[in-house]
């Protein structure tokens, strides 16, 4: 392999000749082999960094024109646009498990932008620290990249997938109006319910989760850029944070603002904890919904069998004809992962010391994985399972007819204890509730028929 010699404040380093990065990226690549090949810095973070570098260059051009020339600004923006488009993805090899401030990933982006711009210019136009990192520090850029990537991942990935699943449940509600079935509590027979009502519970849960996710967005829109090393704004011009936030909003197509208190913005990760809490709530509800669906679809002959779900692939390597609720299973596994990620995010956020939290990469890794997995999981579940849910109305009617808990409708007339006697008698003898009430002389046939109307119990 051909190499070139790069240098930094610690001396010379050999860098592969075909790479745009410089000495600091190469040192990180050699010093942090943990998770290499399987746990790189999330691409969402790299794209967010590119947006930040572009916004910073434009702000510096306006505020420090004598240092940020138009040529330099244009070069930074052009290279940043390439990164945002994914053209330079191979230039970002660093892993999550590096310095806790994310300094090496910030420098990776600085060096790649400088290297790419210099290659295009045919001369050394940009310096990664003096030009690309002008008015910035890793300590304010990585928290900003975390917030930008979080907002964009929620807006562009998770919320659209969530909205699509909510829309599917709304359609299923309308299709199943008036379809009666037995309710269940404690996994035991309960009073009747309409299938549309059961689906409405799923839909409402997701709508509540959506509201909580939207509540988490405004705090995430505050960025630390402008705080530089410790929050004082050292080496950044007055108004840099505000001007950069304006440019960032334009570049990303989503509103961001400069954090009012940069000391908090550098040292606390409470916004990401709050936002991930909303993702955890969504994961909990998806776990419940997926379990409901696979219970209701259990069978095909020896389970509840009240709904039919799409049959996507063979379910067993030994049992011919077996089909499993695999989309429900992927949802529940994703939910477990997100719940685990929530612990990691919370622990990481609690570990800041003085002016900086140094668990930033692991916060980013877990938050973005949760958002990505939930979005992809919901999209797959919606397309391959929920959209194809069909009620087995005959099975629902049969189960409702056999349920003893419809006796609840009789208790206002014959009392709780007598209603319990009728239910127990019916269960022990195999009689219907009507036969039980007549045998125990609790109601006449005419009285039972007048009171026992399952369609009026919902």
Domain enclosing residue 109, as ranges: 20-134
In a domain, 419, yes or no: yes
Cα–Cα distance list, 98 to 32, 105, 267 (Å): 6, 9, 18
* Contacts for 196-200: CB closer than 8 Å, 24+ residues apart: 196/172, 197/458, 198/292, 199/169, 199/172, 199/173, 200/169, 200/173
SS3 string, 198-265, reads HHHHHHHHHHHHHHHHHHHHHHHCEECCCCCCCCCCCCCCCCHHHHHHHHHHHHHCCCCEECCCHHHH
Q: Same structural domain for residues 127 and 152?
A: no
Question: What is the domain-level CATH number for residue 73?
Answer: 1.10.275.10
In a domain, 89, yes or no: yes
Q: Same structural domain for residues 373 and 427?
A: no
pTM of the model: 0.96
Which sequence positions are flagged as catalytic? 186, 316
In a domain, 416, yes or no: yes
Q: Same structural domain for residues 145 and 125?
A: no
Q: Same structural domain for residues 127 and 144?
A: no
Q: Same structural domain for residues 351 and 263?
A: yes
379 Cβ neighbours under 8 A, 6+ residues apart: 161, 164
In a domain, 92, yes or no: yes
Which pair of structure tokens corresponds to residue 216?
């988490």
In a domain, 3, yes or no: no
Distance CA 246, CA 25 (A): 30
Domain boundary among 116, 134, 152: 134
How many other C-beta atoms lie within 10 A of the C-beta of residue 188? 8
How many other C-beta atoms lie within 10 A of the C-beta of residue 71? 12
Cα–Cα distance list, 317 to 37, 309, 321 (Å): 32, 21, 10
Question: What is the domain-level CATH number for residue 445?
Answer: 1.10.40.30
Distance CA 296, CA 308 (A): 8
Q: Same structural domain for residues 121 and 24?
A: yes
Per-residue model confidence as pLDDT tens for the chain (458 residues)? 899 999 989 999 999 999 999 999 999 999 999 999 899 999 999 999 999 999 999 999 999 999 999 999 999 999 999 999 999 999 999 999 999 999 999 999 999 999 999 999 999 999 999 999 999 999 999 999 999 999 999 999 999 999 999 999 999 999 999 999 999 999 999 999 999 999 999 999 999 999 999 999 999 999 999 999 999 999 999 999 999 999 999 999 999 999 999 999 999 999 999 999 999 999 999 999 999 999 999 999 999 999 999 999 999 999 999 999 999 999 999 999 999 999 999 999 999 899 999 999 999 999 999 999 999 999 999 999 999 999 999 999 999 999 999 999 999 999 999 999 999 999 999 999 999 999 999 999 999 999 999 999 99
Q: Same structural domain for residues 209 and 280?
A: yes
Torsion of CA 358, 361, 362, 363, to 10 degrees: 80
Q: Same structural domain for residues 267 and 171?
A: yes
In a domain, 2, yes or no: no
Q: Same structural domain for residues 180 and 297?
A: yes
Q: Same structural domain for residues 345 and 375?
A: yes
In a domain, 4, yes or no: no
Domain boundary among 393, 421, 444: 393
Q: Same structural domain for residues 231 and 348?
A: yes
- In Å, how far from its chain's centre is CA 330? 15
Domain boundary among 134, 149, 167: 134
Counted domains in the chain = 3
Q: Same structural domain for residues 208 and 239?
A: yes
Distance CA 120, CA 405 (A): 77
In a domain, 399, yes or no: no
């Amino acid at each position: 392999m051909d190499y070139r010699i790069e240098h930094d404040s610690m001396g010379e380093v050999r860098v592969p000749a075909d790479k745009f990065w410089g000495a600091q990226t190469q040192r990180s690549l050699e010093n942090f082999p943990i998770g290499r090949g399987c746990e790189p810095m999330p691409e969402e973070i790299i794209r967010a960094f590119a947006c930040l570098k572009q916004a910073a260059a434009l702000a510096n051009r306006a505020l420090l024109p004598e240092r940020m020339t138009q040529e330099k600004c244009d070069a930074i923006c052009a290279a940043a646009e390439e990164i945002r488009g994914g053209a330079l993805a191979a230039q970002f090899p660093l892993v999550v498990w590096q310095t806790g401030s994310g300094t090496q990933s910030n420098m990776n982006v600085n060096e790649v932008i400088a290297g790419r711009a210099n290659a295009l210019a045919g001369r050394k136009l940009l310096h990664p620290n003096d030009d690309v990192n002008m008015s910035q520090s890793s300590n304010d850029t990585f928290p900003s990249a975390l917030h930008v990537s979080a907002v964009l991942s929620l807006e562009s990935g998770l919320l659209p997938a969530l909205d699509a699943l909510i829309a599917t449940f709304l359609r299923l509600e309308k299709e199943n109006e008036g379809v009666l079935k037995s309710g269940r509590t404690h996994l035991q027979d309960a009073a009747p319910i309409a299938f549309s009502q059961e689906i409405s519970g799923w839909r409402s849960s997701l709508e509540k989760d959506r509201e909580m996710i939207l509540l988490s967005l405004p705090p995430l829109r505050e960025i630390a850029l402008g705080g530089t090393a410790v929050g004082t704004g050292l080496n950044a011009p007055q108004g840099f944070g505000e001007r950069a936030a304006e440019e960032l909003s334009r570049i990303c197509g989503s509103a961001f603002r400069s954090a009012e208190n940069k000391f908090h913005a550098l040292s606390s990760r409470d916004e990401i904890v709050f936002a991930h809490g909303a993702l955890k709530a969504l994961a909990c509800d998806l776990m419940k919904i997926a379990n409901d669906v696979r219970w209701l679809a259990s069978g095909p002959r020896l389970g509840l069998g009240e709904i039919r779900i799409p049959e996507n692939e063979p379910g067993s390597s030994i049992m011919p004809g077996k089909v499993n609720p695999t989309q429900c299973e992927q949802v529940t596994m994703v939910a477990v992962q997100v719940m685990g990620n929530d612990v990691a995010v919370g622990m990481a956020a609690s570990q800041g010391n003085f002016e900086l939290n140094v668990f930033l990469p692991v916060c980013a890794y877990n938050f973005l994985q949760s958002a990505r997995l939930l979005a992809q999981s919901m999209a797959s579940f919606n397309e391959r399972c929920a959209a194809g849910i069909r009620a087995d109305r005959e099975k629902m009617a049969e189960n409702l007819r056999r349920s003893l808990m419809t006796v609840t409708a009789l208790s206002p007339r014959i009392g709780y204890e007598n209603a319990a006697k009728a239910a127990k008698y019916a269960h022990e003898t195999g009689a219907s509730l009507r036969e039980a009430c007549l045998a125990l002389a609790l109601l006449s046939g005419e009285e039972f028929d007048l009171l026992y109307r399952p369609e009026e119990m919902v």
